[in-house]
C-alpha cells in the first residue's frame, strides 16, 4: 500500500489509524484512503481496540422494543447514528422482564462495550437497580429512581399542541377519550402520560371550547375507544372534535363513528397521539402527534459518544402529522 500510494509505511500507518502527522496534507490523506479502498483494506478492529482501549461497540438492551412494532423505530435511530460514528451495536432483549436487565448489563460489560442504551416501549418511572459497571448509560423512553441521563418525548407540549389544532379546526365542543386510569392514580409512575394529559387539560382550560367529558380508560385498545365513543354518542353528545389517547384508541373511535354514519374529517375532527403505522391505514387517514422514537434513539447515541451524560432529561419534540381526519377551518 505504501508503494501504491507513493507514501512511506509510517505515513500510511498514521493516516489509516487516524493519527495526525505534522507534514501530512489533506491530498496525501485522501490518496492513501483511496488506495486502501481500492485494495479492499480493512483496519484490524481488535488491534485498534488494544491501542485505544475502546471497542467502538455500544450495547442496546430492550424491554420489548425489539419484539413489538410500536417502538421499533428506536432501533433504527440507534443503528443509523452508530453507523454514522463508525460504531457497532450489540442488542439484547429482556422480553419485559425487569429482573433480566441486570443480567443483560453484566453480559454487555463482559463484551467490553463502550456504553449502554436501555430502551423501553412504555415511558415509565422505573426502579432498575442497575449494576455499577462504570459504563456510560443512557435511558430512552423511561426514567429511573436513581439519577440518570434520559431521553424522552416532549409530552409537556404535545397536549397543548393537540388543543391548538382542535381550536384551529373551528371546533366549539370537544371530547377527550383515553385518559389512563393507572396514570390518574399514580402520575409519578407514568411521567409521559401524566404530562400529556396535564398539558392537554391546562390548554383546554385556556380556551372557549366546551369539554363534553374526559373519558378514562383501563387500557388503550380499539375496544376501549369503541366502547367510550358508543357511550358518548348514546348519551346524546355530538362533539365537533375528539382527542384520542393514542392511535389504537382512535381505531375504535372510528368504528363507533362509522356505525352512526359519521366520518372524521367531514362530520367532526379526530386527532390522536403516537402516529403508529395504523394511522396511515385508517380511512380517512388519521392525524396524529408522533412519538419520535427514531430521533430519541439517535440522540442517545450522540449523548454517549459525546460524553454528555449529566443526570437529567433530554426531550425531543413531537411533531403533528397532518392527514385527513381533521376538519378544515
> What is the predicted pLDDT for the residue at 51?
47
Note whether 185 and 236 are within 8 A (CB).
no
DSSP at 17: T
**Residues 169 and 271 placed together within one structural domain of the fold:** yes
Decide if 329 is inside a domain.
Answer: no
Confidence of residue 49 (pLDDT cuts 50, 70, 90): very low
**Residues 216 and 192 placed together within one structural domain of the fold:** yes
User: In the Cβ-directed half-sphere of 88, how many Cα atoms lie within 13 Å?
Assistant: 11
Decide if 177 is inside a domain.
Answer: yes
> What is the predicted pLDDT for the residue at 1?
55
User: pLDDT at residue 218 above 60?
Assistant: yes
> What is the predicted pLDDT for the residue at 69?
80
> What is the predicted pLDDT for the residue at 131?
81
> What is the predicted pLDDT for the residue at 43?
57
Decide if 327 is inside a domain.
Answer: no
> What is the predicted pLDDT for the residue at 73?
93
What's the number of domains the chain is made of? 3
**Residues 172 and 253 placed together within one structural domain of the fold:** yes
**Residues 137 and 74 placed together within one structural domain of the fold:** yes
Note whether 235 and 227 are within 8 A (CB).
no
Q: Residue count of the chain, please give it.
A: 329
pTM: 0.81
- What pLDDT digit, counting tens, does each position of 117-168 carry? 999 988 888 888 888 888 999 999 999 888 899 999 999 999 999 999 999 9
Confidence of residue 28 (pLDDT cuts 50, 70, 90): low
> What is the predicted pLDDT for the residue at 50?
40
CA angle 119, 272, 98 (to 5 degrees): 25
Which residues, other chains included, contact 186 with Cβ-Cβ below 8 Å and sequence gap of 6+? none
**Residues 191 and 144 placed together within one structural domain of the fold:** no
Stretch 300-322: mean pLDDT, rounded? Answer: 95
Confidence of residue 52 (pLDDT cuts 50, 70, 90): very low
Mean pLDDT of the chain: 88
Decide if 321 is inside a domain.
Answer: no
**Residues 147 and 175 placed together within one structural domain of the fold:** no
Q: Is the backbone of residue 52 left (phi > 0), alpha (psi -120 to 50) or beta? A: alpha
Note whether 82 and 89 are within 8 A (CB).
yes
User: pLDDT at residue 47 above 50?
Assistant: no
Confidence of residue 41 (pLDDT cuts 50, 70, 90): low
**Residues 126 and 200 placed together within one structural domain of the fold:** no
Decide if 48 is inside a domain.
Answer: no
**Residues 245 and 312 placed together within one structural domain of the fold:** no
Decide if 10 is inside a domain.
Answer: yes
Decide if 14 is inside a domain.
Answer: yes
Q: What is the 3-state secondary structure (H, E, C) of 267-279?
A: CEEEEEEECCCHH
Domain hosting 30: range is 2-43
β strands within 220-277, DSSP E? 241-244, 269-274
> What is the predicted pLDDT for the residue at 72?
87
**Residues 163 and 246 placed together within one structural domain of the fold:** yes
CATH number, residue 103: 3.40.50.2300
> What is the predicted pLDDT for the residue at 186?
83
**Residues 222 and 270 placed together within one structural domain of the fold:** yes
Note whether 239 and 177 are within 8 A (CB).
no
> What is the predicted pLDDT for the residue at 194?
92
User: pLDDT at residue 253 above 60?
Assistant: yes
Buried b (16+ CB within 10 A) or exposed e, 3-24: eebebeeebbebbbeeeeeeee
Q: 146-150, 227-231, 233-237, 319-323 — which is least confidently predicted?
A: 146-150
Q: 26-40, 75-89, 100-114, 254-268 — which is least confidently predicted?
A: 26-40
- What pLDDT digit, counting tens, does each position of 163-217 carry? 999 999 999 999 999 988 888 888 888 889 999 999 999 999 999 999 998 899 9
Amino acid at each position: 500500500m505504501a508503494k501504491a500510494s507513493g507514501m512511506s509505511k509510517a505515513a500510511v500507518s498514521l493516516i489509516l489509524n487516524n493519527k495526525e502527522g505534522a507534514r501530512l496534507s489533506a491530498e496525501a490523506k485522501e490518496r492513501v484512503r483511496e488506495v486502501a479502498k481500492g485494495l479492499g483494506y480493512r483496519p484490524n478492529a481488535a488491534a485498534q481496540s488494544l491501542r485505544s482501549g475502546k471497542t467502538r461497540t455500544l450495547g442496546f438492551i430492550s424491554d420489548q422494543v425489539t419484539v413489538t412494532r410500536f417502538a421499533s423505530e428506536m432501533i433504527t435511530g440507534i443503528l443509523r447514528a452508530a453507523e454514522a460514528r463508525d460504531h457497532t451495536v450489540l442488542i439484547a432483549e429482556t422480553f419485559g422482564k425487569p429482573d433480566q436487565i441486570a443480567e443483560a448489563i453484566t453480559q454487555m460489560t463482559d463484551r467490553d462495550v463502550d456504553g449502554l442504551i436501555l430502551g423501553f416501549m412504555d415511558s415509565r418511572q422505573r426502579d432498575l437497580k442497575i449494576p455499577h459497571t462504570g459504563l456510560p448509560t443512557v435511558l430512552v423512553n423511561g426514567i429511573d429512581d436513581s439519577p440518570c441521563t434520559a431521553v424522552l418525548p416532549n409530552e409537556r407540549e404535545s397536549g397543548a399542541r393537540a388543543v391548538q389544532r382542535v381550536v384551529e379546526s373551528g371546533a366549539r365542543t370537544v371530547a377527550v377519550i383515553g385518559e389512563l386510569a393507572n396514570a390518574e392514580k399514580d402520575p409519578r409512575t407514568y411521567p409521559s402520560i401524566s404530562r400529556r394529559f396535564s398539558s392537554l387539560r391546562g390548554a383546554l382550560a385556556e380556551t372557549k371550547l366546551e369539554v363534553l367529558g374526559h373519558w378514562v380508560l383501563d387500557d388503550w385498545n380499539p375496544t376501549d375507544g369503541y366502547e367510550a365513543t358508543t357511550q358518548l354518542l348514546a348519551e346524546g353528545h355530538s362533539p365537533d372534535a375528539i382527542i384520542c389517547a393514542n392511535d389504537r384508541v382512535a381505531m375504535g373511535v372510528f368504528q363507533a363513528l362509522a356505525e352512526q354514519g359519521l366520518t372524521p374529517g367531514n362530520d367532526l375532527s379526530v386527532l390522536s397521539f403516537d402516529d403508529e403505522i395504523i394511522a396511515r391505514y385508517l380511512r380517512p387517514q388519521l392525524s396524529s402527534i408522533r412519538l419520535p422514537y427514531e430521533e430519541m434513539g439517535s440522540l442517545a447515541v450522540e449523548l454517549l459518544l459525546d460524553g454528555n451524560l449529566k443526570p437529567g432529561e433530554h426531550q425531543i419534540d413531537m411533531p403533528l402529522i397532518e392527514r385527513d381526519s381533521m376538519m378544515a377551518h
